Amino acid sequence: MIPAEPDSRVGGLDFTAHLHSAAAAVLCALLDIGRTAYRRQGFPVTGLEPGTAFSTGDIAGYLDARWGLSDFDQLITYLPATAGRGEPPLRAEIEAAIAGLASDGFIEETLTGRYLIGEPLGNLVPALYGLRCGFQWQRTSLLPGGDTAVSHRVFLIGPGGAVLMLSPTAAGRVYMKLSRGDEIARFLAVEASEILPLGSAGDMEETPPAACSGCHAPVRQGARFCTRCGQSLASPSPPSVQPDVCPHCGRKIRLHARFCTNCGTPILP
């Protein structure tokens, strides 16, 4: 867990966490178990109250039951991968992810072999109580040579327009941040234009906004950073030079693409 500068616009919570993809899925699942328990029981669930411990089976059952569902308030929605049909993490992956999260302090193991949400997540869990719309997830794919291509995102929409976002930064890892809804909406519009055929998302905005000097993505007026590449907007920087083809799989890529839609390799820094 890497603390970042507090952002009063979203209740003072702004941080990053680097997790392997299976661990991210497990973390999302246990956070939603806490969220739904809060709604059902009516008290804050921080992992310290009686009855809030969970097992490996609880997480496996949650992911298996909700994977692929897209109804309102379902917390995991499968997004079809370019490389093929996605699957939830395997039981062995879940067990390894739980062990890793426990060793890193994200969760705590009890004497009975069950787990509680750890202290580092204490300020995150209360921010999730009011979330209504859930995760969007795309399974990672295995590339030739054993490398993992990450091509998934998670968005949770909360009260006041706050959004918890997990998006890929490098193979096997995700970036987690609480941001404002209007910023993420623009980010989603840009992402849609990259994965849809040319012109499919062209009518999402009538007036083109200002562009990021690093990746040329549209940015909201007054934004402090680009939601597409993370470039600070406080001062100009030289534009990035984009290759014509993906350096990993050789597939031709669109102009200003943030990642390769074939293998998930990041294109722009």
Q: Which two tokens stand for residue 103?
A: 């060793």
Q: Per-residue pLDDT tens for 40-54?
A: 665 554 444 444 678
Domain parsing of the chain, residue ranges: 2-206, 214-269
Distance from C-alpha of 158 to C-alpha of 132, rounded to nearest angstrom: 7
Q: Which amino acid is at 72?
A: F
Q: Per-residue pLDDT tens for 189-235?
A: 554 444 333 333 333 333 344 677 766 776 766 666 676 666 676 65
In the chain, the largest separation of any two C-alpha atoms, in whole Å, equals 59
Q: Are β-strands 15-16 and 141-142 bridged in parallel, bridged antiparallel, or unpaired?
A: unpaired
Q: Which portions of the chain are predicted below pLDDT 50?
A: 1-18, 45-51, 69-86, 132-141, 148-163, 166-181, 184, 187-188, 191-209, 236-238
Contact between 267 and 259 under an 8 Å Cβ cutoff? The reply is: yes
